[in-house]
Amino acid sequence: MTETTQAAGPPPAPAHTGPPARSPGPWRRMWLWGTAHAVDDLYQGLVPACVPYFVLDRGYGYVAAAGLTLAAALGSSVPQPFIGLAVDRYRLGWLAGAGVAVAGVGLGLSGLVQPYPAVWALILLSGIGVAMFHPAAGKAARAAAGDSAAAMSVFAAGGSVGFLLAPVLATPLLVAMGVTATAVFIPPAVVVGVALLRHRPRPPAARSAARAGTDQWAPFLVLTAIETVRSVAFFGVLTFIELFWIRHLHTGRGAAGAALAGFLLGGVAGTLLGGRIADRLGLVRTVQLGGVLAVPALLGLRLAPGPVAPFVFAVLAGVALNIPFAVLVKLGQDYLPTRPGTAAGVTLGLAVSIGGLIAPALGVAAEHWGPQGVLWILCAIPVAALALGVFLTEPESGQTAEPAEAGG
């Protein structure tokens, strides 16, 4: 009787009665990657913010000051394609967290050492940390975003936020403490680095040798040229907009700083807007739209009278120049479906950094024609992006993001 009752009863409860463990949703993961991107690119933005204080506190000349900027640019640009190749070949998801930490520690220690070669080496190291982050983070963020350009725009916009916050956070500290204030920026890098290492995705039980589709190098090279052109225009405005306000519009430094902030805020908004537009109109059309809108926005910035109307166009120029940003990152990974890390390293790193490296050439133009002459040049640059955009093609069908992998 007892045996019959037990046989007819319900089966024993499983050992684990709680709800199944859930991995973070895609949007939660995207906000994590967007925040990490903001912190990483904060250290890129801190270098130009700190250089004047190295000049004041350490007595560096202009050549030495330019050398620090060059160290950051070399560290962040040259290694990225090679790091991208390594990320695609090996499981290096941990590289994103390690990169943020290296970027912050290198920059943070640079203000605490005295010999110039040591300062130069630490800023170079910080740039290398930035380079370590982008390919690994771009690959993981794309896996989390899937085919949503809007989700990918959250990751891309984080970089724009980092650039925006760098002078805002650094200037008061540098004024109060001098270059030793760089040490204050070490903890955010360590915290974010640890968070990324703890939340990196686990490796799948099985994975295919390659993603579906074949790499399309020809359109990817066209896309890289477009991103380079966009970067030249963006960094050109970033470098000379305050001088244009002060020397051509004859305003004070406060108004000039507000114009710079408006341009950078427009950049954040444009990056997020571009992702939304791409999900509706398509990636290629969104890239082409950015080129179309950039020309009148820059012309308005150059020609509008008075300080108020140019400010409006400064915001619009930031929006227009950044509408294609996240889209170019995603589109590059669609063109190279088997090399998402390489694609991210080029579009987020090398092509963007070239824009900063060309800025000194615009400085030569400013010596001859003033900042207003540079803006005339910048008005023409997006025309090249428009012409290149004609040669873009939609990626081959069937190329979707691969599953997120761990950094082994």
CATH code assigned at 90: 1.20.1250.20
Boundary of a domain, candidates 157, 177, 203: 203
Helices (H), 282-322: 283-303, 308-322
Same domain flag for 219 and 276: yes
Same domain flag for 180 and 283: no
Burial class, 25, CB count within 10 angstroms (exposed 0-12 / middle 13-18 / buried 19+): exposed
Ramachandran angles phi, psi of 213, nearest 5°: 100, 170
Boundary of a domain, candidates 203, 231, 246: 203
Same domain flag for 223 and 332: yes
Q: What's residue 246's pLDDT?
A: 83
- For 297-331, b/e burial (b = at least 16 CB within 10 A) is bbbbbbebeebeebbebbbbbbbbbbbbbbbbbbb
Domain encompassing residue 288: 211-399
Beta strands in 245-385 (DSSP E): none
254 domain-assigned: yes
pLDDT tens digit at each of 408 positions of the chain: 444 444 444 555 444 444 444 445 566 778 889 999 999 999 988 988 888 888 888 888 877 887 887 888 888 888 888 898 999 888 888 999 999 999 999 999 999 999 999 999 999 999 999 999 999 998 888 888 888 888 899 998 998 899 889 888 988 898 889 899 999 999 999 999 999 988 765 544 334 334 556 889 999 999 999 999 998 898 888 878 888 898 888 888 788 888 888 998 999 999 999 999 999 999 999 999 999 999 999 999 999 987 789 999 999 999 999 999 989 989 999 999 989 888 888 887 777 777 767 777 887 888 888 889 889 999 999 999 999 999 999 887 644 444 444 344
Torsion of CA 50, 56, 58, 60, to 10 degrees: 90
Q: How many domains does the chain have?
A: 2
Torsion of CA 223, 316, 377, 310, to 10 degrees: -170
Dihedral sign, CA of 258, 264, 268, 269? positive
18 domain-assigned: no
In the structure, how many helices (H) and strands (E) does the chain have? 15, 0
Same domain flag for 167 and 189: yes
- CA–CA–CA angle 298, 301, 305 (5° rounding): 150
The pTM (predicted TM-score) of the whole model is 0.77
Boundary of a domain, candidates 162, 179, 203: 203
